[in-house]
A and B are shown apart, each in its own frame.
Chain A
């Protein structure tokens, strides 16, 4: 995704395309927000305003939905998004130590984005691959059976 696309007219055009594709029924709001989030990396104010006009839904309602679901974001993220599974099966097989190592390596707390905009550190709900916990996802890559020692190595793969 390019940075230019995140601003102004382009955003409005993208939103319009999604609304045309999916229809402007209220039930389509969440699927459309997912598409926008996927395309732009987050749901910007411009996107919410355009969506409100196209779907005849108040911006307040759209904002309330966009902030409710974990997979939707109203804040821009870093170039790489790390999602750590914080569920019990990962916790009991040593997840906490991996999480602490991540925080320490990146100097970030949960939900934060690094100053150079390289990393965003998030937690995720259970991904259902509990057999190989602890589990973390960077962008779309799943890492299973992660140990604290592996964390620096895994991070090195990303520019």
Chain B
């Protein structure tokens, strides 16, 4: 193996890439060749280093651990000369690096257990050898040489691993169905169409540890009797697509994919397929239609994919995180995995925290941990120490849960009972300034937009709900609207074709249940308690606080504010468009929302 005196790790975080990280790598490589340093200094790619928004593109030089930030290709010759030829730090580009700069994935906090995320940020995702050095592909070797397909299925079944895409179906059972299904060609599919807003765990796994998914898929294929697999990745994740393609190519070169894997008579190959921007393609039947080159519309089940899936053949679909768990289960045993977690939900789950929580980002915790522990212990509580109001779990089809349900243990069953879902592990935390009616309206807009239009309950029903919610937010709601909403929610949930439609009413249903007082305030008192809905608020200048500085009047886009200099100003409510500029600008906090 070659020996390098220095390693340069360039961040290829999505934002850094947009800012030219790859140009930087190319230029750096060229300059090293030019200076004859190419055998001494190795350039590698890594995930995020500093804050990409303010410091990208950036890189780290090891073993010195010097962080250079805000680089452009023009800085490269100087940097190479200073650091690698003259051997001194180029101070003008060096930046102190904070301990925790990866906003998405920090060092593990107390109560976290990392299985799926263990390699991320620790290894070079584009180098298979680094994965192998961390026991990568050892599980595959074990399965192919020591275990029968049925043993493998039993091990995964015993571990209690369930689908991490949200449905929570036992993975081993799925594999057994495929194994037993009749068909000439069986397909192994990885659902990497992580469309839930607020969820980005799969992206980080694909970008940071792609081989764990590849290995999990090969093991699954061996167990299920499949020879061809597809990774269906959404096009919004260009870097994930690229790392996955590289990983597949490297695995092929190492004899881990293709004909006669590891010299056995088992053969399996993988291909990456890209989406083109359609949320519904995360639904398994829609996903398969999209791979076939059609509109990504779901179809009724049965027949289930295990009987008739991709190109009418038996097909198995698991999520990225599900596959990534598999090698660890094989290596450490079903018993170890089943010892983590809670009741019927075993192992760990990643959650992507967003919204008004202090520590946003990705965490991995054992099932059974409570929402309160996640938000307040791991997440650090609410931003600006405001009051917690609600948390939405499981993406846009999930329910909004109030304070009283925070001690709920996180698992598939408990969340289902509470009117929400685990989904793909998105957690959107909302503080006291959030209007729950507005949030319900917002999610309905989303499902309206993403409904593929094939079945009527989802297409028309969500539209009717949205119209009512808009009316309520506009102060035109009627008391009977609440019953109509409940009726529509039940109808859509019962009669829609796929999970999108079935789950669409959850945000409305849960807010109606837990935040009914807010709906009633909007309808009966024409008041928005959180002061968010524009039709129900007015801006007023407080006598005594206003100094008559005229700043608001000068900046009002519609000239709704009048008043003499040094006199209290007045807002004309008939002209005011409630843009809020005056309130933001007022240096004396004299403007109040009523």
Q: In the complex, A26 Cα to B292 Cα: how many Å?
A: 7
A residues within 8 A CB of B354? 88-89, 92, 130-131, 133
Q: Chain B 288-313, CB within 8 Å of chain A: the 1/0 string?
A: 00111111110000000000000000
Count class of interface residues, chain B: 35 or more
Contact: B53 with A130, CB < 8 Å? no
Identify which of A2-10, A112-120, A140-148, A151-159 touches chain B. A140-148
User: Smallest Cβ distance from A110 to chain B, in angstroms?
Assistant: 10
> Of A34, A100, A127, A145, which contacts B236 at CB under 8 A?
A127
A107 at the interface (CB under 8 A from B): no
Closest to B445 in A: A86
User: Smallest Cβ distance from B387 to chain A, in angstroms?
Assistant: 15
B356 at the interface (CB under 8 A from A): yes
B411 at the interface (CB under 8 A from A): no
User: Smallest Cβ distance from B559 to chain A, in angstroms?
Assistant: 16
Name A's B-contacting residues (CB within 8 A): 25-31, 33-34, 61, 64-65, 68-72, 86-93, 97, 100, 124-133, 140-142, 144-145
Contact: A65 with B294, CB < 8 Å? yes
> Of B430, B434, B446, B579, which contacts A87 at CB under 8 A?
B446
Q: In the complex, A31 Cα to B452 Cα: how many Å?
A: 20
Contact: A88 with B236, CB < 8 Å? no
Contact: B237 with A128, CB < 8 Å? yes
Contact: B197 with A130, CB < 8 Å? yes
B residues within 8 A CB of A100? 579
A residues within 8 A CB of B290? 30
- Show 13 A/B contacts (Cβ-Cβ < 8 Å), sorted by A: A31-B274, A34-B235, A68-B296, A68-B452, A87-B197, A87-B198, A88-B439, A92-B439, A126-B195, A130-B352, A132-B103, A142-B14, A144-B15
Contact: A33 with B276, CB < 8 Å? yes
B residues within 8 A CB of A92? 354-356, 428, 430, 434, 439
Contact: A71 with B430, CB < 8 Å? no
- A-B CB proximity, top 8 nearest: A87-B197, A70-B277, A89-B354, A69-B276, A71-B277, A128-B200, A126-B197, A29-B293
B443 at the interface (CB under 8 A from A): yes
Contact: B396 with A65, CB < 8 Å? no
Contact (A93, B356) CB under 8 Å given A30-B290, A88-B428: yes
Within 8 A of A (CB), among B433-451: 434, 439, 442-443, 445-446, 450
| Known interface pairs A70-B276, A88-B355; 12 further A-B residue pairs with C-beta atoms within 8 A, sorted by A's residue number | A88-B197, A88-B428, A88-B443, A89-B426, A92-B434, A124-B277, A126-B196, A128-B200, A128-B203, A130-B352, A132-B53, A141-B18
Contact (A88, B446) CB under 8 Å given A132-B53, A142-B18: yes
Contact: B580 with A126, CB < 8 Å? no
Q: Chain B 199-237, CB within 8 Å of chain A: the 1/0 string?
A: 110010000000000000000000000000000000111
B361 at the interface (CB under 8 A from A): yes
B81 at the interface (CB under 8 A from A): no
User: Smallest Cβ distance from A72 to chain B, in angstroms?
Assistant: 6
Closest to B532 in A: A96
Q: In the complex, A86 Cα to B448 Cα: how many Å?
A: 13
Q: In the complex, A100 Cα to B581 Cα: how many Å?
A: 12
A residues within 8 A CB of B14? 127, 129, 142
Within 8 A of A (CB), among B353-396: 354-356, 360-361, 392, 396
Closest to B362 in A: A131
User: Smallest Cβ distance from B201 to chain A, in angstroms?
Assistant: 9
Which of A31, A129, A145: most chain B Cβ within 10 A?
A129
Which of A89, A125, A133, A141: most chain B Cβ within 10 A?
A89
B278 at the interface (CB under 8 A from A): yes
B279 at the interface (CB under 8 A from A): yes
Closest to B19 in A: A141
User: Smallest Cβ distance from A56 to chain B, in angstroms?
Assistant: 12
B residues within 8 A CB of A33? 276
Contact (A27, B197) CB under 8 Å given A72-B276, A88-B446, A124-B236: no
User: Smallest Cβ distance from A18 to chain B, in angstroms?
Assistant: 14
B104 at the interface (CB under 8 A from A): yes
Contact: B446 with A128, CB < 8 Å? no
Contact: B295 with A65, CB < 8 Å? yes
Q: In the complex, A71 Cα to B352 Cα: how many Å?
A: 25
B45 at the interface (CB under 8 A from A): no
Q: In the complex, A87 Cα to B352 Cα: how many Å?
A: 14
Q: In the complex, A150 Cα to B277 Cα: how many Å?
A: 28
Closest to A85 in B: B197
Q: In the complex, A144 Cα to B194 Cα: how many Å?
A: 20
A residues within 8 A CB of B361? 131
Q: In the complex, A92 Cα to B361 Cα: how many Å?
A: 15
Contact (A128, B194) CB under 8 Å given A27-B293, A97-B580: yes
> Of A31, A34, A130, which contacts B198 at CB under 8 A?
A130
Contact (A28, B293) CB under 8 Å given A71-B277, A145-B53: yes
Q: In the complex, A144 Cα to B430 Cα: how many Å?
A: 20
Q: In the complex, A130 Cα to B103 Cα: how many Å?
A: 10
Q: In the complex, A89 Cα to B360 Cα: how many Å?
A: 10
User: Smallest Cβ distance from A3 to chain B, in angstroms?
Assistant: 25
A residues within 8 A CB of B352? 130
Contact (A125, B279) CB under 8 Å given A65-B295, A88-B198, A92-B430: yes
> Of A25, A29, A71, A93, which contacts B355 at CB under 8 A?
A93
A residues within 8 A CB of B293? 25-30, 65
A residues within 8 A CB of B356? 92-93
Closest to B280 in A: A68
Q: In the complex, A51 Cα to B329 Cα: how many Å?
A: 47
B residues within 8 A CB of A61? 294
Q: In the complex, A69 Cα to B237 Cα: how many Å?
A: 15
Within 8 A of A (CB), among B168-198: 194-198
A residues within 8 A CB of B295? 64-65, 68
Closest to A137 in B: B18
Closest to A68 in B: B295
Closest to B197 in A: A87
Q: In the complex, A131 Cα to B361 Cα: how many Å?
A: 6
Contact: B442 with A91, CB < 8 Å? yes
User: Smallest Cβ distance from B353 to chain A, in angstroms?
Assistant: 9
B residues within 8 A CB of A69? 275-278, 296
Contact: A131 with B197, CB < 8 Å? no
Q: In the complex, A126 Cα to B235 Cα: how many Å?
A: 11
A residues within 8 A CB of B445? 86
A residues within 8 A CB of B237? 128
Within 8 A of A (CB), among B18-72: 18-19, 53
Contact: B103 with A126, CB < 8 Å? no
Q: In the complex, A124 Cα to B452 Cα: how many Å?
A: 16
Closest to B427 in A: A89
User: Smallest Cβ distance from B120 to chain A, in angstroms?
Assistant: 14
Contact: B276 with A71, CB < 8 Å? yes
Closest to B236 in A: A127
Q: In the complex, A69 Cα to B294 Cα: how many Å?
A: 10
